[in-house]
């Protein structure tokens, strides 16, 4: 919810800053700064605590109590640290934060049906949640395995280095990893995909400073399978990547030690590689090749 909505609601209810501070647990100085326009990006928990006061119909009493508890502990910790001359760090109230995150997510799921969710819905969730959205349906991404993360780390680094050495059009290509979001257009409110690795070569798709997502289809998408995401990556996301115009799609199966390369641009028969192979990036016209054996050596070195 925007600060402007909170300001308008405050006027409707006739609440003073002092009343909001008392009911929410947010220090009066913070409330004054927010409603005075001096704080553009308040902490999420602070805003939610104020929202519970101004829009109680949107929050359960338990949620309101949790938010109030968090902000009060943040203020207490801040005050104690200042008094003791210590550095003022963000208070780590993790148990409560997790309950709030879960509560917000469950509340979102209860308000809408599959197919009705929008990008704005996800933007209003607490930070730290990695959720994809395809055609208005949301998919919660599970915590990846160590094998998965090592492959993503090594492969993205190698891809980034290889494209820097390549000549021609590849020099403008940008390599990013999850949780970078991908939307087809700024107006697309039904889709936000989160590839494990992506490469996008059109600057217009990534150089908008006001946009955190990539706007438009990446040139390359790579997904590293996990047991919980295999069907999703090989069917749901496969079809969506093809439909939005991704040029090349790799699926990496860590369990079977296979890489499947799909050239959507030329619509050729998919190619299968092993973890011992060198794999050419087909859309680079031979300029980029990934030495997967070196990545496999790292897997064996760390995990046997």
Q: Is the residue at 23 inside a domain?
A: yes
Among the candidates 92, 111, 130, a domain finishes at: 111
141: in domain: no
- CA distance readout (Å), 226 to 259, 262, 269: 13, 19, 24
Same-domain pairing of 233 and 161: yes
Task: Pick the closest to residue 252 from 175, 165, 144 (CA basis).
Answer: 144
Contact between residue 265 and residue 281 where contact means Cβ atoms under 8 Å apart: no
Domain that holds residue 96: 3-111
Tell me, yes or no, if the pTM score tops 0.75: no
Same domain, 169 and 282: yes
**Residue 267, domain member (yes or no):** yes
Are residues 293 and 159 part of one domain? Answer: yes
| Residue 18 and residue 99 in one domain | yes
Please answer whether residues 210 and 236 qualify as being in contact, where contact means their C-beta atoms are separated by less than 8 angstroms.
Answer: no
- 103 shares its domain with 230: no
166 and 267 in a common domain: yes
132 located within any domain: no
Question: Of 286, 270, 164, 176, which is closest to residue 222 (Cα–Cα)?
Answer: 176
Could you list the pLDDT tens digit for every one of the 304 residues in the chain? 688 889 999 999 999 999 998 888 888 888 898 898 887 777 777 887 888 889 887 776 766 676 676 666 666 655 555 555 555 444 444 444 555 555 566 666 667 788 888 888 877 776 666 789 999 988 877 778 899 999 999 999 999 999 988 877 677 899 999 999 999 999 999 999 999 999 999 999 999 988 899 999 999 999 999 877 888 899 999 999 999 999 999 999 999 999 999 999 998 899 999 999 999 999 998 899 999 999 999 999 998 7
Say if CB 182 and CB 219 are below 8 A apart: no
Q: Which of 177, 127, 175 is nearest to 151 (CA)?
A: 177
Instruction: Give the domain CATH number at 107.
Output: 1.10.260
Q: Report the b/e string of 233-269 with b at 16+ CB within 10 A.
A: beebbbebbeebebbbbbbbbbeeeebbbbebeeeee
């Amino acid at each position: 919810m925007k600060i402007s909505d909170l300001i308008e609601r405050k006027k409707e209810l006739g609440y003073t800053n002092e009343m909001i501070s008392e009911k929410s647990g947010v220090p009066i100085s913070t409330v004054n700064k927010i409603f005075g326009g001096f704080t553009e990006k308040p902490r999420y928990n602070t805003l939610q605590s104020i929202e519970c006061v101004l829009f109680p119909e949107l929050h359960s009493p338990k949620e309101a109590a949790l938010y109030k508890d968090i902000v009060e502990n943040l203020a207490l910790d801040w005050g104690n640290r200042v008094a003791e001359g210590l550095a003022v760090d963000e208070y780590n109230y993790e148990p409560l934060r997790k309950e709030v995150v879960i509560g917000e997510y469950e509340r979102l799921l209860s308000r809408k049906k599959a197919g009705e969710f929008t990008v704005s819905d996800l933007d209003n969730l607490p930070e730290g949640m990695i959720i994809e959205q395809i055609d208005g349906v949301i998919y919660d991404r599970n915590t990846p395995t160590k094998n998965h993360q090592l492959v993503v780390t090594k492969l993205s680094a190698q891809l980034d280095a290889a494209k820097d050495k390549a000549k021609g059009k590849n020099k403008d290509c940008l390599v990013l990893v999850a949780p970078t979001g991908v939307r087809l257009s700024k107006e697309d409110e039904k889709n936000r995909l989160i590839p494990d690795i992506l490469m996008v070569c059109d600057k217009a798709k990534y150089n908008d400073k006001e946009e955190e997502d990539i706007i438009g289809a990446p040139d390359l998408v790579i997904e590293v399978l996990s047991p919980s995401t295999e069907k999703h990556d090989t069917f749901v996301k496969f079809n969506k990547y093809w439909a939005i115009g991704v040029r090349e799609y790799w699926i990496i199966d860590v369990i079977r030690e296979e890489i499947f390369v799909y050239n959507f641009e030329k619509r050729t028969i998919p190619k299968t590689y092993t973890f011992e192979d060198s794999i050419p990036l087909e859309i680079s016209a031979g300029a980029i090749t990934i030495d997967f054996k070196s990545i496999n050596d790292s897997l064996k070195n760390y995990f046997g």
